[in-house]
Amino acid sequence: MRKTINGICLTAIFLGLTACISDSSPPPIEGGELQTSEVADEQPSLATQDSSPIPVINDEQPPSEVEDIRRGKIVMEGIDSSPRAIAGAFQQILLETIESRRPENRDAYEAELLKDPLFRDNPGFLEEQMGWFFEVSLFFALADLEGDGVPELILANHIDSKIYRYSEGTIYEYGSVFARGFQALSTNGTFIMSGGASVGRLAMMSFADNRREEIILALWEPRDNRMYYSINDEEVTEEEWQVFMDAQERKESVVYHDLTEVNVLRYVKW
């Protein structure tokens, strides 16, 4: 569901809500540092300036007693299957996020939060959420996470990410994907799920039945007082595992961009 106040979309992103119970691990990075982009001043044209049908924003998502954050939420419908139309929908999501974070919208956002007893009865939590929403830097990237030729949109801060995915005319939102479980993202859709210095998984995502799941390609962890290694669910030696992981490290990394209007119009296209 999208809620609007004075025409401003406030639920395109709600990343900061989990900040108080998460660590400060950074989002997926390339070469040890988060990559940002310097761009020229010219303003590229919107990808939505074509004859594609106007997207319909869904505002009737049925509530559930226990939210399944792995289940995709419908955020837009009526999207044409052309790359231009999908890119235009992704642009709209990001531009609405930028608009909702402008300083002049703080009062409207706070008023919306105060409708929830979680924030109304906890002034400290309200203050923290306001700070996260308006002050924490955001980044975005496009990556084909499931290998179907259609990229997903990733919107991230240094705590977690949300993923937006197109399927059969609909844009679905998946969240939250915590940073430690979504590291070193490669352009082939593989990433590292870190459980500590000696525990981890190499994985890809599946969105079967519009539910986000991880497919484990390789793992390493202590078992029975020794390190256990596996590839494709079969135990291997440390040497075999190392060769596999070395090949993985040579794959091209996904580049994240600062969330600015210029970057959105420049990079959200394919």
How confident is the model over 169-227, as pLDDT tens digits? Answer: 999 999 878 888 999 999 999 999 998 778 999 999 999 999 999 999 999 999 999 99
**What's residue 74's pLDDT?**
96
Mean residue pLDDT of the chain comes to 80
**What's residue 34's pLDDT?**
39
How far apart, in whole angstroms, are the C-alpha atoms of residue 194 and residue 232?
A: 18
How far apart, in whole angstroms, are the C-alpha atoms of residue 157 and residue 35?
A: 13
How confident is the model over 75-121, as pLDDT tens digits? Answer: 999 999 999 999 999 999 999 999 999 999 999 999 999 999 989 99
CA dihedral 115, 121, 126, 128 (to 10 degrees): -150
How confident is the model over 42-57, as pLDDT tens digits? Answer: 333 333 334 334 444 3
Examine the pLDDT at 38 and tell me if it is beyond 50: no
Angle ∠(203,208,212) on CA atoms, nearest 5: 50
Give the DSSP H or E segment for 176.
Answer: strand 170-178
CB 75 within 8 A of CB 164: yes
Query: Model's pTM, two decimal places?
Result: 0.73
Examine the pLDDT at 24 and tell me if it is beyond 70: no
- Report the pLDDT averaged over residues 39-44: 38
